[in-house]
Amino acid sequence: MYSMDKYLLSRSRKVSAWVWGLVGLVLITGFQIRTHHLDDRLYYWINTYWHTEDWQERSVWLPAYRVELDAKPVSGVDTNLSGLTFDPDQNLLWAVTNGPNELLALSRDGDVKRRYNLAGFQDVEAVSYAGNGQLVIAEERRQSLVIVDVPIDADGKLSPGRALSRDQYPSLTLSLGEADNKGLEGLAYDLKGDRLFVTKERDPRQLLEVHGLRASLSNDFSLRIRDLSSTVKDKVFATDLSSVVFDQQSGHLVLLSDESKLLIEMTDEGKVVSFRSLASGFAGLQKGIPQAEGVTIDVDGNLYVVSEPNLFYRFARESD
């Protein structure tokens, strides 16, 4: 009888250990699913798949993109490659670095054409072309937007490398909480609608629409700021927002998440249209993009991403 009780007790302990182990596994799995928004990804994958015909001809449609230039090091840049934007007037890309603070003119193949020291700037994190030969540059810790003239000569060609001094340009400061390293991360400009979209990385993630920037530079001060953060909170299944681009053709936003290795396309009213993973094996990538910091789209629909320390990627949309 004693042996039987001992056996049952031992068996009970083994079953309890197995049950608690299973409970722990379920809890860990559930935590990972929610942390990485895997359930949301599955939901939106199914949702976008069923609406492919509705959206793919009138959107960016990220699932169609595959990498053409994969992790090309940007020559002469060792670290801190950050924001990115396309300039249709000069037919080139502008990027910034924040250590040192520099503005870089890049070809669409990721080659450096010119370098400009950003004198007096601090913690430069993002850049966006705003039309009329001007760029908006974001300083993360200062939470400031500085409007800089594209450095060109009288003949319309890029000036030789020179310093651009902050105190020569107008600026706008946004109050988005404490001035820390989780401030302004992304800029995107709607050339037709005179709207500047601004993202804050996290804690909390924020998306703002600044309307009337160009009009205000023309002495018609009419800035209006709309907080779109609720759309990000409810719909964007990513843990951070490291960059954003406004697609001039579709009128949609493409948000970049470094931590989640994702591109997410959404309307400016918050409807998620498509997404693309930037992890290893997706979109033809040999390795996952390590620290994606900037995204932009050119006039031909090619999509570009830059990643710290100095990596350049170009994606093209495949034809059906």
Enter the pTM of the model: 0.84
User: What are the φ/ψ torsions at residue 235 (nearest 5 degrees)?
Assistant: -115, -30
Cα–Cα distance measured from residue 18 to residue 111, given in angstroms and rounded to the nearest whole number: 58
Q: How many domains does the chain have?
A: 1
End-to-end CA distance of the chain, in Å?
75
> Would you say 87 and 136 are in contact if contact means Cβ atoms under 8 Å apart?
no
Find the domain containing 213 and state its range. Answer: 60-317
Does the residue 134 lie in any domain?
yes
| 9 within domain boundaries | no
Asked if residue 64 is part of any domain, the answer here is yes
Please indicate, yes or no, if residue 286 is contained in any of the structural domains.
Answer: yes
Backbone angles phi, psi at 34, to 5 degrees: -75, -40
Q: Is residue 33 part of a domain?
A: no
- Identify whether 308 is part of a domain: yes
The SS3 of residue 33 is helix
Does some domain include residue 161? yes
Name residue 292's amino acid.
A
Residue 200 has, within 13 A of its CA and on its CB side, a CA count of 27
Is the distance from CB of 90 to CB of 135 less than 8 angstroms?
no
Q: Is 282 inside any structural domain?
A: yes
pLDDT in 10s for each residue of the chain, 320 residues: 556 555 555 656 555 655 555 555 545 444 444 444 444 444 444 455 545 566 677 899 999 999 999 999 999 999 999 999 999 999 999 999 998 999 999 999 999 999 999 999 999 999 999 999 999 999 998 889 999 999 999 888 899 978 999 999 999 888 765 555 567 889 999 999 999 999 998 788 899 999 998 888 877 777 898 999 888 777 677 888 999 999 999 999 999 999 999 999 999 888 889 999 999 999 999 999 999 999 999 999 999 999 999 999 999 998 76
Q: Domain of 208: which CATH number?
A: 2.120.10.30
Task: State the Cα–Cα distance between residues 197 and 81, nearest whole angstrom.
Answer: 21
